[in-house]
Structure 1
Amino acid sequence: MIRKIVGSKDPVLRRISKPVKKVDKKVTNLIKDLSDTLSAQKDPEGVGLAACQIGINLRVFVMAKGKEIVPVINPEIVEVSKKQGYASHKEHSILEGCLSLPNYYTPLKRATTVKIKYLTPEGKEKVEEFTGFTAQIVQHEIDHLNGIMFVDRLLEQKKTLYKMEGGEWVEVELI
């Protein structure tokens, strides 16, 4: 079922999400709802969605990896590269955005490689390493599960926030 994505001012986005105790029907239904909701996003399109973004305070997210939607339950960062950079695609930097704050973007430096341990929907533990843009998605979604928004990272890194208005990038003044 497609669910409503909560806006950036919703307090659920600032809470640390609770671990999933048991991967059951409730969790698999949540994953389906997250997948349906992510797939339905067109303007802007999304590449990741955390449970808190649909108002559910659990450590679950889904992300697009190519054409596949990958569900991640109870992720823990095992290792991050010291090297930081901007995700890119075909030699162009990718600005980071968020479906809870649609049409706002910023260039953020993140670890270029991240290894996480997580549960699959079958309840199996998996350790996987992600690089580049996918590593950026993983870090963004884990931030959500820890009550951190991408604008917090923007302020830490003293970056500029941009808004897409009528096909043009407009710099947003932060107060």
Structure 2
Amino acid sequence: MTLRPILIHPDPRLKKPCTPVDAITDEVRALADDMLATMYDAPGIGLAAPQVGVLKRILTMDCMKAPEPPRPMVLINPEIVWKSAETSVYEEGCLSIPDQYAEVTRPAEVRVRWLALDGSVQEEHFTGLWATCVQHEIDHLDGRLFIDYLGPIKRQLITRKMEKLKRDRARSA
């Protein structure tokens, strides 16, 4: 397992729609292992492949809180097949937009279908934080960030902060 660097917004790779995974190969399994390790190390509850520079439709997530046992999930080519009319508001953050949070309104419940690492088709109904997280990560696969749900002024403010963070990191590297 390798911890991979997480891309910071604005990076053009974060705005590109990802291509589907054609086959579950050793390379895909290694990427999934790396993404889970990177997500837990960050620490975060979700990570999409474009955040580590891979433009493939793969995401990892685990919304369990201690003392509950972890529930690492790898979703390949996930698609939302149903969403509730009822919405929920959650203060979201993102590993690619560190230390920035904003309230985002999304469907409160979703049903998602995906391919598992063993090649089987899975489907699950998500609610609460799990529903928010899976939608946030699927957005990444479509080239969308949580700040895209915000007004232009707030989005611009966060983008400027991230540009400064990247400059500061580059200077200290």
Same fold (TM over 0.5): yes
Where in structure 2 are the equivalents of 1:110-121 lying within 5 Å?
Answer: 110-121=106-117
Give the structure-2-normalised TM-score. 0.83
Partner in structure 2 of residue 166 of structure 1? none
What is aligned with 1:84?
A: 87
CA–CA distance in structure 2, aligned partners of residues 68 and 126 of structure 1: 15
Consecutive unaligned residues of structure 1, counting only runs of 5 or more, are 88-94, 163-175
Distance 1:100 1:124 in 2: 30
- Per the TM alignment, residue 105 of structure 1 is displaced from its structure 2 partner at its CA by 0.1
- 128, 141, 149: which is aligned to 1:153? 149
Q: What is the TM-score of this pair, normalised by structure 1? A: 0.82
Structure 1: 4+ residue segments shifted above 2 A: none
Counterpart pick for 2:98 among 80, 97, 102: 102
Partner Cα distance (1:17, 1:153) in 2? 20
Q: Where does residue 63 of structure 1 map in the other structure?
A: 61
Offset of residue 111 of structure 1: 0.6
Alignment deviations for residues 52-71 of structure 1 (CA, whole Å, 9 cap, x no partner) = 00000000000013122111
Q: Equivalents in 2 of 1:138, 1:16: separation in Å?
A: 16
Letter in 2 for 1:7: I
C-alpha distance in 1 between matches for 2:124 and 2:63: 13
Contact 2:60 2:74 in 1 (8 A): yes
CA deviation profile, 1:125-171 (whole Å, cap 9, x unmatched): 01111001110000000000000011001238x89x88xxxxxxxxx
- Structure with the higher fraction of residues in helix conformation: 2
Root mean square deviation of aligned Cα: 1.7
Gaps in structure 2 of 5+ consecutive residues = 65-69, 159-173
Give secondary structure in 1 for the equivalent of 2:136. Answer: helix
**Residue number in structure 1 paired with 2:48:** 50
Q: Give the Cα–Cα distance (whole angstroms) in 1 for the partners of residues 98 and 150 of structure 2.
A: 15
**Corresponding pairs, count:** 150
Report what 1:91 is aligned to. none
Q: Which amino acid aligns with 1:63?
A: M
Which residue in 2 is equivalent to 1:125?
121
Q: Secondary structure at the match of 1:19?
A: coil
| Cα offset, 1:51, TM superposition | 0.3
Contact kept in structure 1, 2:45 and 2:61, CA below 8 Å: yes
Instruction: Give the match's secondary structure for 1:27.
Output: helix
